[in-house]
């Protein structure tokens, strides 16, 4: 992967893009750890056998936070994934990769990775349920491909992958609640997840250095920076 440049969250207006009330202690932690996070890139992998689609998708995600890699086959994707020196934060994978290759095989090979957007052409949407079962965050019909919804969903998924460092997460559905932009407090987050606030704290502690406030603030900030570069 290419060497990433340091991205300055202050110049990006990080404070103004974070609609989450933070106590002073949480803000101090956010700044201390957030700066370390923002020295990294968000690694996005696009897997599609159509060069035009690969180029088109690459041109959609213009945030300087993105580090984009593209491959045209299942074998190339596996090779790229395994040779990466850093974590992956989001994959965009076409179901039909040509020559009998199926993009869902990538999900089967890496079942712990829950930050994948699957693209499906006409006649392949019957595999959507299977893609979700295998852990895909969302399935989009690429004939025609709705760019705006796809862009938004990828930004949300990539922000979550960045928050959790692309790692396996046994509580992924709880964190996916953050996709809802109406969630602005940890109390709302806990209520939506049907859990007590203290349990939310305990779950976040499993993914250091996260706390509920810090996780919510960092996710919102990263999403806004990706969505509005």
Q: Per residue of the chain (229 residues), what is the pLDDT tens digit?
A: 333 333 333 333 343 344 444 444 444 454 445 545 555 789 999 999 999 999 999 999 988 899 999 999 999 999 999 999 889 999 999 998 988 888 999 999 999 999 999 998 656 667 888 898 899 998 888 777 788 899 999 999 999 999 999 999 999 999 999 999 999 999 999 999 999 999 999 999 999 889 999 999 999 999 998 998 7
212-227 helix and 24-37 helix, angle to the nearest 10 degrees: 50
CA dihedral (76, 82, 88, 91) in degrees, to 10, reads 30
Q: Shortest CA distance to 154 belongs to which of 79, 3, 5, 46? A: 46
CA distance 52 to 57: 9
Q: Tokens in use for 52?
A: 């035009």
Q: Which regions of the chain carry the CATH code 3.40.50.2300?
A: 42-153
Instruction: Print burial letters for 176-208: b (CB count within 10 Å at least 16), e (below 16).
Output: bebbeeebeebeebbeebeeeeeebeebbeebe
Q: Among the CATH numbers 3.40.50.720, 3.40.50.880, 3.90.950.20, 3.40.50.2300, which is that of 42-153?
A: 3.40.50.2300
CA distance 223 to 60: 15
145 DSSP assignment? B
147-163 helix and 51-60 helix, angle to the nearest 10 degrees: 70
Asked whether 150 and 140 are in contact (CB, 8 A), the reply is yes
Asked whether 117 and 88 are in contact (CB, 8 A), the reply is no
pLDDT number for residue 16: 36
Enter the pTM of the model. Answer: 0.82
Place of tokens 């806990």: 190
C-alpha dist (Å) from residue 100 to 105, 116, 121, 206: 11, 21, 15, 40
3-state helix, strand, coil in the chain (%, to 5): 45, 15, 40
Helix residue ranges, H only, 4-146: 24-37, 51-60, 74-83, 104-109, 128-133
Asked whether 147 and 60 are in contact (CB, 8 A), the reply is yes
């Amino acid at each position: 992967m290419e060497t990433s440049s340091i991205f300055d969250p202050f110049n990006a207006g990080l404070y103004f893009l974070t609609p989450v009330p933070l106590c002073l202690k949480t803000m101090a932690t956010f700044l201390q750890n957030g700066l370390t996070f923002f020295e990294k890139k968000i690694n996005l992998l696009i897997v599609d056998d159509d060069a035009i689609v690969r180029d088109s998708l690459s041109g959609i995600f213009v945030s300087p936070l993105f580090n984009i890699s593209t491959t045209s086959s299942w074998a190339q994707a596996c090779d790229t994934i395994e040779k990466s020196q850093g974590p992956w934060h989001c994959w965009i994978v076409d179901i039909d990769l040509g020559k009998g290759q199926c993009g869902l095989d990538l999900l089967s090979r890496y079942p712990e990775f829950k930050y994948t957007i699957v693209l499906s052409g006409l006649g392949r949407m019957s595999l959507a349920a299977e893609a979700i079962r295998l852990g895909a965050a969302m399935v989009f019909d690429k004939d025609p491909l709705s760019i705006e919804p796809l862009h938004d969903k990828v930004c949300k998924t990539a922000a979550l992958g960045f928050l959790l460092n692309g790692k396996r997460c046994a509580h992924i559905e709880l964190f996916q609640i953050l996709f809802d932009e109406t969630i602005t407090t940890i109390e709302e987050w806990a209520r939506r997840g049907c859990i007590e606030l203290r349990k939310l704290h305990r779950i976040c502690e499993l993914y250091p250095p996260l706390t509920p406030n810090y996780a919510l603030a960092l996710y919102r900030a990263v999403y806004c920076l990706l969505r509005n570069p």
